[in-house]
Amino acid sequence: MTATRIVRPATLAVAALAVWTLAATLLWRTKVPADLSLPSLGAREVFGAHAVRAGVRFDRFFEVEWALGTIASLAALVVLARRGPKLARSLGLGPVNAGIVTAVLVAVVLWAVSLPFDLAASWWSRRHGILQESWATIVFSPLGGLYRATVVTTLVFAVLLLLARRLARTWWIAAAGIVLVLAIGLQFAFPYVQRIGTHPVRSQKLVAQIRTLEQREQVGRPTIRVAPMHETTTAANAYAAGLGPSRSVFIWDTMLDGRFSPREVRFVLAHELGHLARWHIWKGIAWGALIAVPILALVALVTGRRGGLRRPENVPLALLTIAVAGIAVTPFANAVSRRYEAEADWMALNATRDPAAARGLFKGFVTTDLQNPDPPGWVHVFLEDHPSALVRVEQAEAWRRLNR
């Protein structure tokens, strides 16, 4: 009996690892040639010394702010994890209600800890002309974040604590399934909400170019909308979202204010259509599941040593475990994201056959968004979910050399 109890979990663990590895291997594949050799270009030569200095100076503030904010949040979670038992017992509530209230209190503390850093980031962006919002909006907008954090925390921990009470050791498996279903639902519904306040592309010439790109990338006819962002920021951006009938591409109107050429705008749209053509939204959900399952299993293991998540005093410990695990997997998650962004660039290069437009676009992002085109290694690993602007220019040059 003892041997069976040991062999069976070990067999299941090996099988789960094999499935995880196979799924990760399949999801890792992209259309970018595996043997693609990028040329070695200099950031100052490509973007200019002034743009590089401005990007380095602007981004350095956020790099330091991220490090300090992360340390402060982890320190707060450590203190709360140590005082969790006393806090939960002092509430005088049932296990589930006490756990929910404890989770909300932790969320409020984390919000308060992050507030000074968020305000500092807004100040820095506003000082450099990127953020256009008034100080009244900047000061009061975090209250909306507090409300959302409270609602989400209440709902999530109500589900987790109920599962933990009913399923004991296997609650994390059911929780992973619920997270997957919610992720799919949110990705499906999100674009419909985002379309509020947007408008269709009004340039008939651009519409015709979009139709051509859709045919070349075999992506069907997703919804293309322009989002009015000029009163909020001077930064330029575009993004793809949605599943099935909700698939959409949103382009900020700051991309269409004349700072970017029509060819560069076309490349941006080809890039976003490339995300949809290569099923990156679905793949992102799959990666989320592959990452969430081990994290939830780790939470079950860590809290299980103190009686499990059924005990409300373990809620802060669970949140600390999630935070530490999240930081630990961030380099891997960013690597996946950068890989898909590179593939979307490759799709756009194939669709537009215009590496000069790609180069101009990435140079424009560095100038308008004050990006550091070649960030230091640790920043690249922990903070960058896109390839650096320099690497994106190098890939465009590699494509040009292959197709000249």
pLDDT in tens, 289-342: 999 999 999 999 999 888 888 888 889 999 999 999 999 999 999 999 999 999
Residue 390 lies in a domain: yes
pLDDT of residue 308: 83
Mean pLDDT of all residues belonging to the chain: 92
Tally the domains of the chain: 1
Residue 13 lies in a domain: no
Residue 134 lies in a domain: yes
- Give Rg (Cα) of the chain: 23
In which region does residue 15 sit, left (phi positive, over 0), alpha (psi from -120 to 50) or beta (all else)?
A: alpha
Residue 343 lies in a domain: yes
Residue 117 lies in a domain: yes
Residue 114 lies in a domain: yes
Considering only the C-alpha atoms of the chain, give the largest distance between any 2 of them, rounded to a whole number of Å: 74
Of residues 2 and 335, more confidence is placed in 335
Catalytic residue among 264, 272, 313, 341: 272
Q: Give the mean pLDDT of 206-214.
A: 96
- Which is nearest to 139 in space by CA: 156, 155, 116? 116
CA 162 – CA 97 distance, rounded (Å): 10
Q: Examine the pLDDT at 6 and tell me if it is beyond 60.
A: no
CA 39 – CA 359 distance, rounded (Å): 14
Confidence class for position 3, pLDDT limits 50, 70, 90: low
Is 272 in the active site? yes
What tokens does 237 get?
Answer: 């951006």
Asked if residues 358 and 345 have their Cβ atoms less than 8 Å apart, the reply is yes
pLDDT of residue 1: 47
Residue 254 lies in a domain: no
Residue 221 lies in a domain: no
CA 287 – CA 333 distance, rounded (Å): 8
- Strands laid side by side in the 238-241 sheet: 199-200, 223-227, 248-252, 238-241
**73-129, pLDDT tens digit by residue?**
999 999 998 887 787 777 777 778 888 888 999 999 999 999 999 999 999 999 999
pLDDT of residue 82: 87
Asked if residues 183 and 282 have their Cβ atoms less than 8 Å apart, the reply is no
Residue in the structure block whose two tokens are 């300090």: 68
Range of the domain at 93: 46-197+273-403
What tokens does 25 get?
Answer: 């291997």
Are β-strands 238-241 and 248-252 bridged in parallel, bridged antiparallel, or unpaired? antiparallel
